[in-house]
Amino acid sequence: MHDASTNRRLAAGTSTSETALNDSLADFVPRPGVDFVATAAINELTSRALAYLEIGYAVHLSGPAGTGKTTLALHIASQIGRRCTLLHGDDELRGSDLLGKDAGYRRQSIRDNYVSSILKTEETVSLMWKNNRLTTACEQGHTVIYDEFTRSPAAANNAFLSILEEGILNIPTSGQDKNYVRVHSDFRAIFTSNPEEYVGVHKSQDALLDRMITLEVSHQDRETEISILHAKSGRTAVEVAAIVDVIRGMRQKLGEKNGPTIRAALAIAKILDHRNAAVSCDDAVFMNTCQDVLFYNATRQSNRTFIRADLESVVRGVVLAMPKKKESVLNVIANQLVTENHEMENSAGELVFSGLDKAVEGISQLTGTRLADSALGAKNDPSRLVSENKAGEVSSTDKLRDSEFTLDSASRRLPRPPAFESTGIPTGAAVTSK
């Protein structure tokens, strides 16, 4: 069974296969890309946008070119999970391009020849209306992504005023049975736009901006840019960080709003991948690529004279800092090895303590149960060990014996078991076995 909009297309002479093709080009179900980078900053912005959309508000992503607004809008729409209608702002766009228009007419003739001598003919002519994408989206509850909507004249976007406020789309035609469409409850709208100072951008009406929630989208943080570039190129982590630092250094030199975007970094990385070049001041391909990708826009965006030497200075400053980053990595590895060495030394100390335990066990076999109990009790009594260490008055012979238990590797000093003196047996006396 066809819906009403399909019936209108068929009545206008459009074939079913052509209709399906047009629908597939205009409407789609977005799915998350495998190379989409979702950092903490991206996830936080996405969650805010989804919260506004869930309660029925339209979301407006505004920011400079190259900050990933369209990609983010598609990602947000993929989280909603419904069919999408993609619109692009254009200076030639008119309201009929969004809503639809009268496309031809329908003629109906009735011939009455009930009486052979009388021929009666009745003819009716009516206009035919053809929906465009916005009307179809409102009827079927699609998610509309209106990319760069401020590039369309403000008058072309007037239809959104009643859509976003009253939930009604007014249809300017006399060929319909009703002159309005009630907006589906699942309908959602995501807008993107560039700043008004960009060439070709129209000033949007305040009434429309008041009906949406605007989220500012700026250049991503360094972590996000590195993650994006690493996911979309074959460069190493060190080279990716260097390319990102080059474009960020250019932004600092030209101003955050006028500097190169992540698109420039992607272009450099892809060219290096294609030409098998390295990120190095000695690689002519890399140096020429940076000049070709960055210099022309830099001269247009800079408020002062900007020459190629300035760009080369930024590139060399970043690339020459790369060995320092490598050295820091080596230092981390060295510190880990030192830590592991200390742990091995501590393990060696534990082996000496284990040897001391075995010595006590040997003494217990020679002197009997009383001597063993006394020695082990003293060994396991921390208070006696502490009291003996704090005694202060020990004989030189005791000090000499204590030095035999000193660990050279870990600088640890092992006290002689105090149980030797607590047994009443003179030090150095011969022990005879029974």
**CATH number of the domain enclosing 88:** 3.40.50.300
Spatial separation of the C-alpha atoms in residues 176 and 137, rounded to whole Å: 18
pLDDT band at 344 (very low <50, low <70, confident <90, very high): low
Domain count, the chain: 3
- The count of other CB atoms within 10 Å of the CB of residue 255 is 12
Which residue range(s) make up the domain with 336? 325-422
- Asked if the model's pLDDT at residue 376 lies above 90, the reply is no
Taking a C-beta distance cutoff of 8 angstroms, is the pair 183, 58 a contact? no
Same domain, 227 and 371: no
Query: With bands split at pLDDT 50, 70 and 90, how would you rate the model's confidence at 423?
Result: very low
| Position 362 confidence tier, pLDDT thresholds 50, 70, 90 | low
Whether residue 427 lies inside any domain: the answer is no
Does pLDDT of 54 surpass 90? yes
Position 168 pLDDT exceeds 80: yes
One domain, residues 237 and 296 = yes
- In this structure, the answer to whether residues 272 and 373 fall within a common structural domain is no
40 and 64 together in one domain = yes
Say if residue 111 is in the same domain as residue 11.
yes
Higher local confidence (pLDDT), 333 or 307: 307
Mean pLDDT of 126-132: 74
Do 179 and 132 belong to one domain? yes
**Do 271 and 408 belong to one domain?**
no
Domain boundary among 216, 238, 272: 216
pLDDT at 365: 54
Residue that wins the pLDDT comparison between 250 and 343: 250
Is the pLDDT assigned to residue 135 strictly greater than 70? yes
Within 10 angstroms of residue 432's Cβ, the number of other Cβ atoms is: 6
Packing angle, helices 369-379 and 382-389, rounded to 10 = 70
pTM for the whole thing? 0.63
Q: And the tokens for 89?
A: 């702002």
C-alpha–C-alpha distance, residues 63 and 215, integer Å: 9
| 110 and 166, same domain (yes or no) | yes
Same domain, 288 and 396: no
The Cα 79–Cα 47 span in angstroms is 10
pLDDT digits (tens, 9 = 90+) for 76-126: 999 998 999 999 999 999 888 888 776 666 667 777 766 666 667 777 766
Query: Do both 26 and 169 map to the same domain?
Result: yes
Kindly state whether residues 104 and 171 are assigned to the same domain.
yes
Q: Look at residues 216, 232, 267 and tell me which one is the last residue of a structural domain.
A: 216
Buried b (16+ CB within 10 A) or exposed e, 364-398: beebeeebbebbbebbeeeeeeeebeeeeeeeeeb
pLDDT band at 138 (very low <50, low <70, confident <90, very high): very high
Among the candidates 162, 191, 216, a domain finishes at: 216
Q: Which alpha helices (H) appear in 55-103, and where do they start and end? A: 69-80, 95-99
160 and 88 part of one domain: yes
